[in-house]
Structure 1
């Protein structure tokens, strides 16, 4: 264990003064973003104000406004634990711990979950199980909340994840339920352009893709026959640009021992109504994943567990962390395993292999996948 080095984040009281109308206590956080071997970002939110909206029948709702804060930490030491305090007032509220990533290949574990969305009781139990494994970080493959434009949904999300995110970096993926909300970009501080990005830990490469693209709501005047064309063509140039970026990233990181790709929509669906959509997604990406030796592709969107294997790539749907579960009614030729179940995945990255342990909500392992380290070509 490395020595623990305390970091005190001195903040002017004016940062946390909220126009004289609220206290200086933290609403969300603190939580860790942008972790690397020598850098990290600490984020938190304070209550700025609130508004009310009333309907014609007298119903009334209160919506809160939050102010986001973040501090970038630099010149840290690799694989070292630090203590931070964003309030610096002697209370426990602003304190947390972080551990920088190693600058060499050493064993570590991370967790993958998906579609935490609407059943908060399931989401909470999953996070409690995940916390027991003490992962270096977590990746959520999209649909973090039911409606990304609803502040109430984000309030529930941060309440459930408060203790976990204080000490563990959290990487989100854009899903369709995020609705490209400004709240998503306010709350998270992510690498690259934040929509799609990558990071490394040891000699493992992690790439997060945006399967949703720059899509907007279909206009009311759009006919049923034009709806598919509208979705496919409205953001195609954006997706093509992302594909070019991905190819560059995979080429630059061709010496990585392990490559994990994350996006929201699946390339192989076992939900009958989405099989054709997954074929279109697969056709768009072509052979890029197998050509560059990607070992694992993790996605959400279909609310169950599904493991397919094709041309050297494990395609895994993990979307059982809170959204209502879907039936499985279209098993594919590439399918190896599937189950309608709440679950999460703990990935242990070792020197010569990565082992994916798939657990149910009770912590029982029901599938295990072994992936060998890549051979540099």
Structure 2
């Protein structure tokens, strides 16, 4: 009898093992809403997608999975949307993938609960975590994920750096998903992009968020969350900044939370200046423009990571503690990466701080939030109760949208100004002064510019409240004569000078010696055989203008880049930043023109792209046939 039982258990174990080994990523849920849920999983070979699900029933002897959503198309990455669900209801679900006539793999039964509507008075709780990439303590994320699961949150908010290397498939499947499989199969997770994700395609394969996905907003109960990608441009007037300004203005949620990766405030010892020998900026420069926006828009919490530790600030407004109307900044970067340390002297804004692996929870009911920070041993090491009046603050209107053609123009350019609400009036100036109802022109129709102009515009509400001033410089192109006629014979290629050093801005190449020089066919960085980090290159050559007209150029780089035509700076994409694209234009007369492209790499990923923009703004990357050098070179 014992032998038969042993054989039975061995057979059952082998069946389960054979099922599980077909999953590249075990089934998990995403974008939990009141009426839908996304179910995703990845198989090792192409297969069909089936999800069987059903509402939890009373007095049921087995989980109800009587409803199916089936797709016969074959693939390895599976995504099935369960629609027309009811809010605040428990559902059971399982997945099946078929290859041919035989069942390839099926999962066990999982469960989830749909979201809470804006009108509901139900209490809910969410967990906050960040920087779960693998560190020296390789099991830290697994322990944190298990603790979050034990708390049974309604959803998880992740502030970025999910993995060590977003370009590594193994980091996603083995480092992130596998240790958290139990948590992710039952609790939806909303994520922000960190610098370690590298904006990689796998991030967008594995996570489902509202378009355009790298920034988005969602509402849960009486809270609205605004998620940004601070690896991209979030400076005043940028796409994400303008979007956030409008979304915050239009929000009617009682609680507003902004989510991104980089810290506006931090007491860390050396990320923004070595505090043992110099003054620290106490925050990432690339997100500082966001702080005044948070303050005037009624943001309650800004949550982030990047720095691998925990810190909670006092409520802050205008660079001071303001317990009545301030924004609370919470750094929760202790999900798994190697821990960092605090500066030797205390900062004015810090309230609580710990260098420990951890996560946080927000328990929300109506106008009360119970906040906790919990370490990997399940000790609550920080907590607070936040309350606020239900009456929303008066928020200034967003800046008007400046709608125009390219900012560099040949003859004239037409400019329109659009307020967020047509009931609002727009005032503008063309001389760089600040507009208002007295010192400004009331906007009535499109403005036509025919010379260099600094346009500034402001929106005024019917109640007389003015918002942020939008500004944009328009430049009338000057004609550049060619340095060589097209009749002159030039060789293909471009020359380079290679340098090494640690810079945060573009170095002055005239003050440092080049380690090597040479000629290459194009601007492919790997042709230079550079070291891993901390180096720079200057490319020099000629481009051909086949006709006299306005030429638009762009660069995209991680980190900084600049493009010059005939010694004039046309594209300025300088700075220590993640991948960022910037453009410019110049009028070139027919002939050859000198081009210089400068680039520096700080650390991590190195990317340089450059080329032309067509009239529709489409990028046309430089080809090797676009570059020339003199025959004597």
Per the shorter chain, which TM-score range?
0.7 to 0.9
Query: Does residue 86 in structure 1 map to residue 95 in structure 2?
Result: yes
User: 1:81-125 deviations in whole A, cap 9, x for unaligned?
Assistant: 111122187986253212111221310000001101013301111
Change in CA separation of 1:110 and 1:173 when aligned onto 2, cut-off 3 Å: same
Q: Determine if contact 2:265/2:284 at 8 Å carries over to the other structure.
A: yes
What's the counterpart of residue 359 of structure 1? 374
Structure 1 unmatched runs, 5+ = 1-21, 50-65, 214-234
1:321–1:97: structure 2 CA closer, same or farther, 3 Å change rule?
same
Contact 2:268 2:282 in 1 (8 A): no
The structure-2 alpha-carbon separation of the partners of 1:367 and 1:239, relative to structure 1 and needing over 3 Å to count, comes to farther
Instruction: Find the aligned partners of 2:291 and 2:142 in 1 and give their Cα distance.
Output: 37
Q: How does 1:185-196 map to 2 (within 5 A)?
A: 185-196=204-215
Rg larger in structure: 2
1:247 aligns with 2:245: yes
Q: Point out the structure with the larger strand share.
A: 2
Matches within 5 A, 1:93-132: 93=107, 95-103=109-117, 104-119=120-135, 120-132=138-150
> Mapping of 1:146-157 within 5 angstroms?
146-156=164-174, 157=176
Query: Distance between the aligned counterparts of 2:234 and 2:244, measured in 1?
Result: 15
Query: How far off its partner does 1:272 sit?
Result: 3.5
Correspondent of 2:25 among 13, 16, 28: 28
CA distance in structure 2 between the partners assigned to 1:247 and 1:169 by the alignment: 27
Q: How far apart in 2 are the matches of 1:287 and 1:161?
A: 37
- Which SS does the other structure have where 1:110 is aligned? strand
Structure 1 consecutive aligned stretches of length 4 or more whose deviation exceeds 4 Å:
88-92, 235-239
Q: Which has the higher contact order (CA 8 A, sep 6+)?
A: 1
Of the three residues 312, 327, 332, the one matched with 2:341 is 327
Aligned partner of 1:47 among 44, 47, 51 = 44
Alpha-carbon displacement from aligned partner over 1:324-373 (angstroms, at most 9, x marks no partner): 00110153211111111111101101122111111111111111122224
Number of positions where the alignment pairs a residue of Structure 1 with one of Structure 2 = 318
Where 1:87 maps in the other structure, the secondary structure is: strand
2:295 to 287, 290, 293: 290
State which of 58, 82, 85 in structure 2 corresponds to 1:76.
Answer: 85
User: Match of 2:357?
Assistant: 342
Give the TM-score normalised by structure 1.
Answer: 0.79
| CA distance in structure 2 between the aligned counterparts of 1:136 and 1:164, rounded to whole angstroms | 11
Q: Does the 8 A contact of 1:295 with 1:371 survive in 2?
A: no
> 1:295, 1:313 within 8 Å by CA — same for their partners in 2?
yes
Displacement of 1:79: 0.6
Q: 2:289 aligns to what SS in structure 1?
A: helix
- The structure carrying a bigger helix percent of its residues is 1
Structure 2 length as normaliser, TM-score?
0.48
**Residues 253-292 of structure 1 deviation map (CA, whole Å, 9 limit, x = unaligned):** 1x21111111100000212332437252453214111111
